[in-house]
Structure 1
Amino acid sequence: MYTLVTIADVVQILPSDFNKPSKRAIEDWINTNYADKVINKVGLCVGFHSLISASEGLIGNGTGIVNVNVDFKLVVFRPFKGEIIRGTISSANTEGIHMSMGFFEDTVAPRDLLFSPSTPEADERGLVWVWRANENEFWFDRAEKCLMRVEQEVWHDLSPQMKKLDEDFDMESRDIHGMRLAPYRLNVSMGLTGLGPDLWWLGEDAAVAEEAAEAPENLEGTNDTEMAT
């Protein structure tokens, strides 16, 4: 789910940060400019991990800004295809179910990747998907915690160079909720045994116990990749 990415960039340290230790000033700049941002075809940057190298600082003429060439590692969220991840149902419409992971909202389970036959049903709060099997009904209720499998990454370049394209969106350039395309979206499936709401497979008590026992994610065994900006 998480990986370490090596990046090369030019850090600009403002005179107002000269009172900080150099490493701290560099780390603050990296977190400000990368944390919680998507790098196209790389993933969602979570935060600074470690500094690999830094050059001597060069002071810009007339600005006082110190420019430093650095190589550093970032923690990046980018699950691999086929990985099982956990999320919460946040909304639904006739095209599928929108999932939330708390820190990442652009996860969608399209209708053709749900258990079959599943159909949308209207209730007092909106639309809910229902899987009917052997005369039983299984509901994809809002706020239910689910397991889902990553099937596809969808990228959309929202860099400044793509601003004009962003301004010229038509309806075909919107996601299943009619919203502008996210820079990074995951299409997931909930159509295999064990996937979907935890309550279906574990029962309420077991689902609560499993959630409480889950340990925080760690970075052991992550892969390193490199890129330069």
Structure 2
Amino acid sequence: MFILTTISDLIQIQPEEFGKTSAQAIKDSINTKYANKVIQQVGVCICLFDLTKSSEGNIGHGTGIVNVNAEFRLLVFRPFQGEIIIGHIKISDPTGIYVSLDFFDDIYIPEALMPEGVRYNAVEKVWVWDTDDSELFYDNNETVRFRVENEHWDTNEERPPYRIIGSMTISGLGPVLWWEETREDIEAARQACLAGAANGDAEMEGDA
């Protein structure tokens, strides 16, 4: 989900930062420039990981700004295709479900990548999966698992610069609560079988 990427860039240190050590001023300027920003074809920058190299500072004429050539590594969010991630449903509309990771919201699950038999409830504004014996709801704020299927990059300022397309089609994906309840039911059935087998063995010994 997270990777380290090396960047070389010209970093500018404002005069008000001169009270800091040079290393700290460079690091703070890098975080200001890159944290929570998308770099095309790289990912969402979370924060500076470390500063690996920096030049002597050069003061710009008439500005007082110090320019430093720096090489550094950034912690970047960019999941790989097929990765399973846990997030929560932010909102739903007739086209699909939007999932948030708190620090990143541009995750979209289209109807085509949800289980067969889902339908949109326009009154509740949620998706519903009709199974053989029940209705399962994709409620807002519900914790969900999804699989990363694709990623979209865009330089149009009116659209998200980075968007993840996910799916919830295979077993175990979708609201985490569904599968926890299923596991609990399976475990309860297993324990009942074990108890029944134990009682059967005890009765056979008694008959003997």
Which residue in 1 is equivalent to 2:159? 181
Which residue in 2 is equivalent to 1:157? 155
1:203 Cα offset (Å): 2.4
Which residue in 1 is equivalent to 2:33? 33
Measure the CA separation in 2 of the matches of 1:24 and 1:111.
Answer: 47
Distance 1:204 1:117, change over 3 A: closer
SS of 1:203's partner is helix
| Structural mapping, 1:166-205, within 5 Å | 166=157, 180-203=158-181
Q: CA RMSD in A?
A: 1.6
SS of 2:122's partner is strand
Measure the CA separation in 2 of the matches of 1:97 and 1:198.
Answer: 15
SS of 1:104's partner is coil
SS of 2:16's partner is helix
Which residue in 1 is equivalent to 2:99? 99
Which residue in 2 is equivalent to 1:129? 127
On the 8 A contact 2:94/2:122 being kept in 1, the answer is: no
Deviation >3 Å, runs of 4+: none
SS of 2:5's partner is strand
Measure the CA separation in 2 of the matches of 1:61 and 1:182.
Answer: 37
On the 8 A contact 2:50/2:73 being kept in 1, the answer is: yes
Is 1:145 paired with 2:140?
no
1:90 Cα offset (Å): 1.4
Measure the CA separation in 1 of the matches of 2:171 and 2:120.
Answer: 20
Which residue in 2 is equivalent to 1:224? none
Measure the CA separation in 1 of the matches of 2:17 and 2:30.
Answer: 13
TM-score, structure 1 as length reference:
0.77
* Structure of greater Rg: 2
| Structural mapping, 1:76-87, within 5 Å | 76-87=76-87
- Listed one character per residue, the Cα deviations across residues 11-52 of structure 1 (whole Å, up to 9, x for unaligned) are 111222111100000001001010011111111100011011
Measure the CA separation in 2 of the matches of 1:133 and 1:205.
Answer: 17
State the percentage of identical aligned residues. Answer: 46
Unpaired stretches in structure 1, ≥5 consecutive residues: 159-165, 167-179, 207-229
Measure the CA separation in 2 of the matches of 1:193 and 1:183.
Answer: 31
Measure the CA separation in 2 of the matches of 1:205 and 1:13.
Answer: 55
1:205 Cα offset (Å): 11
Is 1:61 paired with 2:39?
no
1:84 Cα offset (Å): 0.2
Unpaired stretches in structure 2, ≥5 consecutive residues: 185-208
TM-score, structure 2 as length reference:
0.84
Measure the CA separation in 2 of the matches of 1:17 and 1:197.
Answer: 47
